[in-house]
Every structure is written in C-alpha cells, then in structure tokens.
Amino acid sequence: MADNKDSMWPRGPREQWKAMIWSFQGLRAAWLVESSFRTEVVLFLVLAPLGWYLGQTPVEQILLIGSPMLVMAAELLNSAIEALIDRYGPEQHELAGRAKDMGSAAVFVLLVNMALCWGLIVGPRLLAA
C-alpha cells in the first residue's frame, strides 16, 4: 500500500507490521502456486549454509548467499507480472507475451549471475583440491 502522499512522516509501527504481514502473504502465495519458487527456495536452503561455510571473506559469503536470494526475488516479481497479465484474460497479446518473456529473462539472468558467483568463488577451490 502506498504511503499517504499528504504526510511527510514515515510509516508508524502499525503500518510497518501490516506491510510485513502482506509480504508474508506474498511469500505464502508464491510457495503455494509457483513450483519454480519452491525449487528456488529449496536451492537456497541448500546453498545458503554452503555459502556461509565456503565463503572465506564476508564479501564472498554475501555473494554466495545473496545470489540465490536475488533469484528468488526476481521469481517473485516474474510471478507477479504473470498473475497481473493472466488476470486480464487468456487471450494472446504481443505485449503481454513480451512482458512475461522479459520477466522470465530476468530470472534467467540472475541464475547465470548465481552460477558465475559460485563458479568463480568455489570453482577454483574445487579444482585445486
């Protein structure tokens, strides 16, 4: 929900709490209806502890743990785009297809980024062993 444009004050605790509840509702909805999101959550649950352990510096840990988090965030945005387009009907439209494809491409780009992060940080250590 947008902030009141007439107010210069930040959100209060009550509004912050509501925003957090809405965020959890979005995560729950994604978990229930998006198999790709569930796969990425499981991948994160495997990679996050490994990234914590294998990262030798805080920057490496952030890259190894943060890259799968970015993939999940992109998947949430992609799912939101798809839901919004599907809400307006099943008919084919060039712009709707383009928007869905671009959302999917964003997830793909971040998956490549994650593979690069893991490959460049962990790969040389595995090859040296």
Hey, which residues are catalytic here?
A: 75
| Contact (Cβ atoms closer than 8 angstroms) between residue 24 and residue 31 | no
DSSP, res 56: S
| Region of 92 on the Ramachandran plot (φ > 0 left; ψ -120 to 50 alpha; else beta) | beta
Contact yes or no for 80/23 (Cβ under 8 A): no
